[in-house]
Amino acid sequence: MPSLLRSTTCLAGLAVMLLNTAPTTASPPDVTFLCNRMPEVSSFPQTLNWDDYGGTGDNKGSVAKARRKAAGCQSGNNCNKGRSGAGSRGARYRSCDEYPFASTSDSITPTGHQVLRCVPVSQNSAQGNALMQTYGRFKSQGYTSHSLKINFGNPGSSGVKYCLNQACRNDGYEVQDKTIKRRDEDPNFRFYNTLSGIVLGSLDEDELHSNYTRMVNSFETLRLDLDNWFELLDGVEVRMVNDVIVGEISVESLLGEDA
């Protein structure tokens, strides 16, 4: 599964151009990726369409493999040990992160211009767990497909500069069509305060005073009035919280630059 966000890059910012996802009405996010836990993640806070690997429900089946291959994340990809080529980084960056996710119908675009990035395994796993929790919730409600609205949590965390509307520039490790492409784009995020105290970043409008579910940081101290619980993901207990979106704030306010 895909992975994370990068400080001076915006890998999926490129993918946003090729998806042309229609604007959505205000709604709470389906999944929130915590920037401080995923500073290399290659996904973008927009709305995708989860279809459970083309309706197969198999993340290792032929549909999943074909979608990952289209992005360059097939077996023996450039992120693997001993490999070189576009996007290869060596050392701890051995996990191939595709965008759009292979679990979404957006991963088969008309042009096939999916994006990949070599990222740390731990960060890719963190994102994968967040997605698994969300998909499990969809399935428990009887869905076989569902819109997947993505938000960022804790934008502006150390090493995740572009969460605060800096221009997206390729740092030399974002690969599309087997090459490194240059660009300079403004992501145009919106930012929201929450009852728990974290800030959300979104490309779409979030519904104020709505509830949303997210993972909890290990160092985070939650308010006593917030409903929270533990879920088992891949044999690991993960703490979840039912948070509330309070209000929209400006990037200047977030940076402490407003008068």
Per-residue pLDDT at 65 exceeds 70: yes
Q: What is the pLDDT of residue 175?
A: 82
Residue-wise pLDDT for 159-218, tens only, equals: 675 667 666 667 777 887 778 776 656 667 899 999 999 999 988 899 999 999 999 988
**Angle at alpha carbon of residue 37, lines to 103 and 219, rounded to 5°:** 130
Domain presence at residue 229: no
168 CA to centre of own chain: 15
Distance between CA 238 and CA 76 in Å, rounded? 31
Per-residue pLDDT at 8 exceeds 80: no
Number of domains comprising the chain: 1
Q: Are 192 and 163 in contact (CB under 8 A)?
A: no
| β-sheet bridge partners, residue 231 | 238
Q: What is the residue type of 238?
A: V
Q: What is the pLDDT of residue 232?
A: 86
By residue range, what is the domain housing residue 118?
11-190
Distance between CA 162 and CA 184 in Å, rounded? 12
Indicate the pairing of strand 199-202 with strand 146-153: antiparallel
**Angle at alpha carbon of residue 115, lines to 112 and 116, rounded to 5°:** 135
Q: What is the pLDDT of residue 184?
A: 57
Distance between CA 249 and CA 145 in Å, rounded? 32
Per-residue pLDDT at 5 exceeds 60: no
The size of the chain, in residues, is 259
What SS3 string covers the chain? CCCCCCCCCCHHHHHHHHHCCCCCCCCCCCEEEECCCCCCCCCCCCEEEECCCCCCCCCCCHHHHHHHHHHCCCCCCCCCCCCCCCCCCCCCCCEEEEECCCCEHHHCCCCCCCEEEEECHHHHHHHHHHHHHHHHHHHHCCCCCEEEEEEEECCCCCCCHHHHCCCEECCCCEEECCEECCCEECCCCEEEEECCCCEEEECCCCCCCCEEEEECCCCCCCCCCCCEEEEEECCEEEEEEEEEEEEEECHHHHHCCCC
Domain presence at residue 20: yes
Domain presence at residue 86: yes
Domain presence at residue 164: yes
**Cα-flanking dihedrals φ and ψ of residue 175, to 5°?**
-115, 130
Domain presence at residue 44: yes
Q: Are 210 and 50 in contact (CB under 8 A)?
A: no
How many CA atoms lie less than 13 Å away from 160 in the CB half-sphere? 24
The pLDDT of 221-244, averaged and rounded, is 92
**Cα-flanking dihedrals φ and ψ of residue 167, to 5°?**
-60, 145
Domain presence at residue 35: yes
Query: With bands split at pLDDT 50, 70 and 90, how would you rate the model's confidence at 36?
Result: confident
Mean pLDDT for the chain overall: 82
Domain presence at residue 243: no
Domain presence at residue 131: yes
